[in-house]
Amino acid sequence: MFSLEFTYWKIKAEKSLVYTSLANSYGFGGLSYPYNLGEVKSSGFESLLQIHPIQSADYDLNVNLIWNYQTSEIVSLGDKAQQLTNDQNYEKPGYKKHEFFSIKTTTPIFDASGKLTGYNNTVTPVDLGNPLPDHSGSVTINFRFLKNFNLYVFGDFGLNNRVYSYTIYRGIRAGSYAPANKLGTQLGLIGNSTYGSLVKDPNVTALTPGTPEYIQAANDFAALMQRDRGNFIYDADFFTIREFSLCYDFTELMREFLPNSYVTGVSVGMSIRNVVRFSKYDYDNDINYGGGQGSRTFASDLGTLPQPRTYNFWIKVGF
């Protein structure tokens, strides 16, 4: 009825291959080159719990739960390097691989009349989390009921991971991100390139400087200051139901019409892929504009759309 598997792992690696950007002074633009990290330590566990609580002629239930944990630490970079960078991903001793570092906006600045005149920031890049989930896993349910019906559900999750939204950053620069346009109109920032290419929202009226509403709007806009890319690194915990399917086995009902010598089985079913996703990040955290999680940038979303929900219907005949 129950089965449990558990594996603990610990690795010390030398000369792990990562990519880092060439300095602008080389004159090669955004090119990057491979670099060997001096030493990296990583550890974690993988676990699997299988539950089979129901087993009879007409009903059968199987549940699989996978829960994994991983962490890493860069011990040294080798070749006397202090840090390696790729967009917002850094490789720095004492931190996990691919950690997010960036300058981040902190508080608004007001003049004597209470009007917004600018924003403070962290000046130097600060630690903003990691793109790879600490905890990840999946849930699988396979339920046969009323003898010939079969229900299948598969979902997966990731916890404590972050994503850099170049989508929102570029949207503000292009004047196409509605929340920024609303706040920009309330604060009277339209036409000031310091705050992005904001477009006036015709359904919003300007607020009076110095009022509590104006101050609140100024604080809210700090998270959308396109000058500092650290504002666009978001929590991206997720749980996604990847597949739901239901089918019915007609084999027994069709026996008198379809002899065993010709047809071994008949079933009809339907499935839904990418059923629903619950996440702190509204856009897509599955796709990386750099070409997937194996590229030189990690968890950077630019113009990617969530994977589509698809519906499938089938009739399966075995001969």
268 closest CA partner among 145, 148, 140, 142: 148
The confidence score (pLDDT) of residue 289 equals 62
DSSP for the chain, written as a single string: -EEEEEEEEEEEEEEEEEEEEPPGGGS-TT-EEEEEEEEEEEEEEEEEEEEEEEESSS-EEEEEEEEEEEEEEEEE-STT---EEETTEEE-TTS-TTEEEE--EEEEEE-TTS-EEEEEE-SS-EE---SS-SEEEEEEEEEEETTTEEEEEEEEEEES-EEEEHHHHHHHHHT--HHHHHHHHHHT-TT-GGG-S----TT--PPPTTSHHHHHHHHHHHTT-TT-GGGGEEE--EEEEEEEEEEEE-TTTTTTTS-TTT-SEEEEEEEEEEEEEEESSSS-SS--TTTSTTSSS-SEESS--PPPPEEEEEEEEE-
Contact between 208 and 214 under an 8 Å Cβ cutoff? The reply is: yes
Tell me, what amino acid is at 148? N
DSSP for 110-142, written as a single string: E-TTS-EEEEEE-SS-EE---SS-SEEEEEEEE
Whole-angstrom Cα distance, residue 230 to residue 105? Answer: 7
Burial of residue 294 (CB within 10 Å: 0-12, 13-18, 19+) is: exposed
Whole-angstrom Cα distance, residue 301 to residue 286? Answer: 9
User: Rounded to the nearest 5 degrees, what angle is found at the Cα of 23, between the Cα atoms of 17 and 25?
Assistant: 155
Q: Which two tokens stand for residue 104?
A: 């981040």
252 closest CA partner among 142, 144, 143, 148: 148
Write phi, then psi, for 281 (nearest 5 degrees): -105, 125
The confidence score (pLDDT) of residue 295 equals 52
Give the side-chain half-sphere CA count within 13 A for 306.
Answer: 16
Contact between 265 and 318 under an 8 Å Cβ cutoff? The reply is: yes
Cα–chain center distance at 120: 29
Contact between 91 and 74 under an 8 Å Cβ cutoff? The reply is: yes
Q: Which two tokens stand for residue 69?
A: 């944990």
The rounded average pLDDT for each run of 10 residues, N- to C-terminus, in the chain (319 residues) is: 97 83 68 79 97 95 98 85 80 91 96 95 94 95 96 96 91 92 96 91 95 97 94 94 95 73 84 93 72 61 81 91
Whole-angstrom Cα distance, residue 301 to residue 238? Answer: 15
68 closest CA partner among 2, 6, 155: 6
